[in-house]
Structure 1
Amino acid sequence: MKQPAFDEKGKLKEKILQVEDLQVTFQTFGGVVQAVRGVTFDLHKGETLAIVGESGCGKSVTSNAIMGLIPSPPGKVTNGKVIFKGKNLTAFNKSEFRKIQGVDVSMIFQDPMTALNPTMSIGEQLTEGLRTHHKISKADAKTKAIEMLNLVGISNPHERLKQYPHQFSGGMRQRIVIAISLICEPTLLIADEPTTALDVTIQAQILELFAEIQEKTGVSIILITHDLGVVAKIADRIAVMYAGKIIEIGTKREIFYAPAHPYTKGLLNSVPRLDLLEEELQPIEGTPPDLFAPPTGCAFTARCPYAMEVCSHAYPVETSLFGQHKVDCWLQDERAKGIFS
């Protein structure tokens, strides 16, 4: 079992990442897309923070902004800060980002087959970053690569290093991508939908692997996903994202047992449950708003069964609930108590 991200007094450990009012836009022929609209969150040492939400809500754009992978043009970080180890990453140029990418901050991409180079052996891809950043010998790099393959559960690593991506199954390729992302021992690991293309058995194995690696290395993880089952397995805290904003954040228990935003409750109600065999799934009606011209109020207003007049005119102020739990919703205002349950 991995070490908790909380100390003996129940407080979160030291912060290793602070994202403050992050805003990212994309210039298109149709206008400016406001993909991320003021995202703020912290990540602590040894913690797994899951960012969940529908496709298109800004999860991957947020992670790419942290990694310095926003293509410019058309993308641009227009406001905010990403503070990592005391440095503001949004002020970095490409050369400065290359010094930390894969070393201090590493990323696991969604599709392992496209993340791996089909023309290079697994051994070459594992040792490339290590030799580039740490300037170690070929023999030492190979030894480290074998250690990493053992860590991620790939048998016969000496022979596997000579093989190519097409010679591995989907689950094995995902393990190799994880090994590549961890070989330089990063402080922060961003996993973008790491189990989406895998069957449930392999998903479970990959999630167990994350927990084991975090226990052994102490790496902090940002997990990007829309799968609440994945979240329930390994997350310490959950940030719920909608229309480019984080609308609710709290511990796993706070989010699952006391959702405070109607969107969060809708996500939980739309997940199949084995203990409610006769109940039908409850989909969230409607579609997300147009981010070419996002609403001035709460972006979920048009889909919310509890919407009030104020919701469409003014964005709700953040409300601090019990413990780590915070939410942006007018229903949590004292004057609206009793409406949402």
Structure 2
Amino acid sequence: MEKILEIKDLHVHFSTYGGTVQAVRGVNLYLNKGETLAIVGESGSGKSVTSNSIMQLIPTPSGKIVQGSIHFKGRDLVQTTKKEMRAIRGVDISMIFQDPMTALNPTLTIGDQLTEGLKQHASISKAKAKEKALEMLRLVGIPNPDSRLKQYPHQFSGGMRQRIVIAMALICEPDLLIADEPTTALDVTIQAQIMELFKEIQEKTGVSIILVTHDLGVVARVADRVAVMYGGKIIETGNKDDIFYHPQHPYTIGLLQSVPRLDMDDDILQPIDGTPPDLFAPPQGCPFTARCAHAMQVCANVHPFTSHLSDSHQVECWLQDARAKRQPV
């Protein structure tokens, strides 16, 4: 399959008064054309920083990509200028942010906000821009689009605002759509509708999607492949079946065990004990060592190599490395 995006050895640091936060530490990822890749992990694992790095939206001067490359359709985005990135954002790569109410301008009509991107990036008449805006509202399931174009964000429900944000992201027909926690503020019924909408849009447009989330139910519904992040690193990747039915990293197993399930009689959830690592001074070895019931001495001192379990399934864990002696810490 054709790779539309490839991230190699990405490191992102943030300078603060307390020291340097190593938020992303050597991430390697790829995305195929027309595919949905879900990046999962608990808060602070580096998911949003990775996605913001693709868009070159790391806040400066505190934040900086200190190492690595992000190749999009053969072009390294890390080496692009601000002017070049402005031409790419919204046209080739679009992003859906977490809270639709903060992503929309409360003083502008929906029509003005939808057509803004077209006016910025394409030579198009006002009538054609309006026609395209109406088309996008129909695509995302907004009823009565003609009258809705004249309304303001506060006149829409949370689910409708999220649909409008999706329409804004897709109006210039990007090749890559990044959705950062797109269903966080929505109830489960609306979440299901939005996820179905993503699937329908992908079938109609062929857009590649990166879905950033901690909701494994959402991942199970729409993802083709899954990357599990912890402590600023990708610790396991695989297709949906690999991750949900054959997880190999103890952290991935812990995430799956902490999700409520209707097919289990036990009413007590199994949380992952402990706290994530301090990224001011990240551990030398596997970042999950302090919370792992299967940790060995080597885990604390040396980060594991990538073990290729199959063509689709890779994990960074000493438990899968034949060279490790299985002696508890």
Q: TM-score range by the shorter chain?
A: over 0.9
Partner of 1:111: 99
1:249 aligns with 2:230: no
Deviation, 1:94, is: 1.3
Partner of 1:215: 203
In structure 2, give the amino acid aligned to 1:234: V
1:123 aligns with 2:98: no
- Aligned match for 1:37, one of 25, 34, 49: 25
**What are the superposed Cα offsets for residues 167-210 of structure 1, whole Å, 9 maximum, x if unpaired?**
00000000000000000000000000000100000000000000
Relative to structure 1, is the Cα distance of residues 189 and 337 closer, same or farther in structure 2, using a 3 angstrom cutoff? farther
Structure 1 segment 226-245 matched on structure 2, within 5 A: 226-245=214-233
Partner of 1:98: 86
- Aligned match for 1:293, one of 278, 281, 287: 281
Question: Partners in 2 of 1:157 and 1:339 — Cα distance?
Answer: 64
Q: How many pairs are equivalent? A: 328
Partner of 1:69: 57
Partner of 2:3: 15
- Aligned match for 1:191, one of 175, 179, 188: 179
**What are the superposed Cα offsets for residues 279-332 of structure 1, whole Å, 9 maximum, x if unpaired?**
421000000010001000001000000000000000000000023000000000
Deviation, 1:220, is: 0.2
The answer to whether the 8 A contact 1:331-1:339 is kept is no
SS of the residue 1:315 aligns to: coil
1:138 aligns with 2:106: no
Normalised TM-score (structure 2): 0.98
Deviation, 1:338, is: 8.6
1:26 aligns with 2:32: no
Question: Is 219-228 or 326-335 further displaced after alignment?
Answer: 326-335
The answer to whether the 8 A contact 2:297-2:327 is kept is no
Partner of 1:57: 45
1:325 aligns with 2:325: no
- Aligned match for 1:314, one of 280, 296, 302: 302
Gap regions ≥5 residues in structure 1? 1-12
Superposition CA RMSD, Å: 1.3
The answer to whether the 8 A contact 2:10-2:67 is kept is yes
Partner of 2:152: 164
In structure 2, give the amino acid aligned to 1:261: H
The answer to whether the 8 A contact 2:97-2:180 is kept is yes
Partner of 1:9: none
**What are the superposed Cα offsets for residues 245-299 of structure 1, whole Å, 9 maximum, x if unpaired?**
0000000000000101000000000000000033421000000010001000001
Identity of aligned residues (%): 71
Deviation, 1:335, is: 4.7
Question: Partners in 2 of 1:104 and 1:43 — Cα distance?
Answer: 14
**What are the superposed Cα offsets for residues 35-69 of structure 1, whole Å, 9 maximum, x if unpaired?**
00010010001100000000000000000000010
Question: Partners in 1 of 2:128 and 2:326 — Cα distance?
Answer: 63
